[in-house]
Homo-oligomer: A and B are copies of this chain.
Amino acid sequence: MYSERIAGVRSSAIRDILKLTTRPGMISFAGGLPAPELFPMEEIARAAQNVFSKYGPSSLQYSITEGIKPLREKIAKKVYDGQGIGVENIIITQGSQQGLDLISKLLIDKGAVVLTENPSYLGALQSFRLFQADIVSIPSDEKGIQVKKLREALNSVKPAFIYLMPNFQNPTGVTLSMERRTELIELMRDRDVLIVEDDPYGELIFEGKSLPTLFSLARGKDIVYVSSFSKTIVPGFRVAYIAADAEIAGKLALVKQGTDLHTNTLGQHVVNEYLESGNHRKHLDMVRQTYKTRRDLMLSAMEKHFPKSARWNKPAGGMFIWATLADDGTDSKDILLRCIEKDVAFVPGREFFPDGSGGNTMRLNFSNAAPDDIEKGIKRIGEVLAGMGSEKRE
A→B interface (CB under 8 Å): 1-6, 9, 11, 31, 33-34, 36-37, 39, 41, 44-45, 48-49, 52, 56-63, 94-95, 97-98, 101, 105-110, 112, 123, 126-127, 129-131, 160, 192, 194, 230, 234-238, 250-251, 254-255, 257-267, 270
Q: Can you report 15 residue pairs joining A to B where beta carbons are below 8 Å apart?
A: A1-B107, A3-B109, A3-B160, A33-B62, A39-B60, A45-B48, A45-B49, A48-B48, A59-B236, A101-B260, A123-B258, A130-B255, A236-B265, A238-B264, A266-B270
Q: Is B261 a contact partner of A95 (Cβ separation < 8 A)?
A: yes
Q: Is A238 a contact partner of B254 (Cβ separation < 8 A)?
A: no
**Bound state CA distance, A112 and B3, in angstroms?**
9
Main secondary structure on chain A at its contact with chain B? Answer: helix
Residue of B at shortest CB range from A22?
A: B64
Partner of A234, one of B37, B61, B237: B61
Nearest Cβ on chain B to A319's Cβ, whole angstroms:
12
Nearest Cβ on chain B to A71's Cβ, whole angstroms:
14
Q: Given A1-B107, A39-B57, A60-B39: A236 and B33 within 8 A (CB)?
A: no
Partner of A258, one of B52, B60, B101: B101
Nearest Cβ on chain B to A226's Cβ, whole angstroms:
13
Q: A6-B251, A60-B236 known; 7 other A-B pairs, CB under 8 Å?
A: A2-B251, A3-B107, A41-B60, A48-B49, A60-B234, A98-B260, A235-B265
Q: Is A261 a contact partner of B2 (Cβ separation < 8 A)?
A: no
Partner of A49, one of B49, B98, B258: B49
**Bound state CA distance, A39 and B45, in angstroms?**
20
